[in-house]
Amino acid sequence: MDKAFLRNLITAPGPSGYEQAPSRIWREAAKAWADSLDWDNLGNSYALVMGTSGSDYTVVIEGHIDEIGFIVTHIDDNGFIWFDKIGGWDDQVVVGQRIVIRGSEGDVTGVIGKKAAHLLTPADREKPTKISEMWIDIGAKTKDEARARVSIGDPAVIAGDPIELTDDLWASRSMDNRTGAYVAYRATQMLAEDRPAVNVIGVAATQEEIGLVGATTLSWHVKPQVAIALDVTHATDYPGADKKSDGEIAVGGGPVLGRGSSVTPTVFEGLRDTAKRLEMHAPVQASGLRTGTDADNIIRSGANIAVGLVSIPNRYMHSPSEVISLTDLENAAKLIAEFVRTITPESDFRP
């Protein structure tokens, strides 16, 4: 487990469309073992490990590296900054947070403000505060003072370093989905150390949170025979969780295997059988129509790719304190690497 690398990924600001910082960290680390590195115009990063067979048969292991965040939309005469969401925030989580704006001259720290509860009418106190009613305060007194540090279109993320709740459980923003990008890195690294027959490309994909965009681009850029998508999924081991809908999913309970319309049945079966062989607990989570992950766009890209989905249990998704298990990350990487080692140039995943 490379905790230092994971921490660097988690803390690097990189909301959808502005993933450059974590992507550079991912590629720089992959230089140590990849046969070649590349990235495309959308920002997707690719780390290639050549297989032993000499075949063109290729497997992609992909996790998106973007996170939800914010974007500056207006600076008023008093230097207060107005903003919009990048991705799916629960507005109530945003109130009162500290924030980092990625300015062209460097990071700018601010706080998210709103009218104090004391000043609200009783009726207004019962209403949820909307993003449009909040602003960012960077301590500027005028528009010109704020504009010297911040520009329209600058991205921002919630401030704060990861915290270790236990030796195994970490809490932070951006676990969705730096953890998936981390597992894609680790699984491909494991395969570089003990090479499979087929080629493997680890991918840190971009712009998942705003429409699974990077997944479509990588599908046609690489056109692999098989792709394993990695993401987080909702744990159901907290009060009020809906186990009837999301299943028995626990943080620390093992990587989760996706099954449903966006997953190729034979790839799911291969991952399931590999987990059994490793004696690894890997619960199954069903999705009738869409998984809400990059698997959806990869299988629907038209590039004729067989698709699997492995997810990391996550509590409090899309919040500044998402909770995951380090053991789940390492087991997900081991599971995927071992599954890829079962693939040969003759492997046929047509259902």
In the predicted structure, residue 125 carries a pLDDT above the cut 90: no
In the predicted structure, residue 75 carries a pLDDT above the cut 60: yes
**CA-only gyration radius of the chain, Å:** 21
Q: Name the region of 247 (left: φ>0; alpha: ψ -120 to 50; beta: rest).
A: left
Which strand (E) or helix (H) includes residue 163? strand 163-164
In the predicted structure, residue 127 carries a pLDDT above the cut 80: no
Among 92, 342, 70, 58, CA closest to 202:
58
Q: How much is the average pLDDT of 318-322?
A: 95
Q: Name the region of 28 (left: φ>0; alpha: ψ -120 to 50; beta: rest).
A: alpha
Within 10 angstroms of residue 106's Cβ, the number of other Cβ atoms is 8
Point out which residues pair with 206 in neighbouring strands: none
Which strand (E) or helix (H) includes residue 193? helix 175-193
Catalytic residues: 208
3-state SS, 283-334, equals CEEEECCCCCCHHHHHHCCCCCCEEEEEEEEEECCCCCCEEEEHHHHHHHHH
Strands 58-64 and 226-234: what pairing?
A: parallel
Amino acid found at 39: W
In the predicted structure, residue 107 carries a pLDDT above the cut 90: yes
Strands ordered across the beta sheet of 322-325? 163-164, 169-172, 322-325
pTM of the model: 0.94
Q: How much is the average pLDDT of 191-215?
A: 97
Within 10 angstroms of residue 259's Cβ, the number of other Cβ atoms is 19
214, 64 Cβ separation under 8 angstroms: yes
Q: How far apart are CA 150 and CA 65, in angstroms?
A: 24
Q: Domain 72-158 is of which CATH architecture?
A: Beta Barrel (2.40)
Which CATH entry fits the domain spanning 3-67+173-340: 3.60.70.12, 3.40.50.620, 3.40.630.10, 1.10.10.10?
3.40.630.10
pLDDT, tens digit, 9 for 90 and up, residues 220-233: 999 999 999 999 99
Q: How far apart are CA 169 and CA 5, in angstroms?
A: 16
Q: How far apart are CA 229 and CA 279, in angstroms?
A: 22
Output the DSSP codes for 30-59: HTTT-SEEEE-TT--EEEEE--SS----EE
| Res 241: pLDDT | 86
Q: How much is the average pLDDT of 309-333?
A: 97
Domain ranges across the chain:
3-67+173-340, 72-158
Tell me 118's DSSP state. G
pLDDT, tens digit, 9 for 90 and up, residues 233-283: 999 999 988 888 888 999 999 999 999 999 999 999 999 999 999 999 999
Among 89-98, 291-300, 342-351, whose mean pLDDT is lowest? 89-98
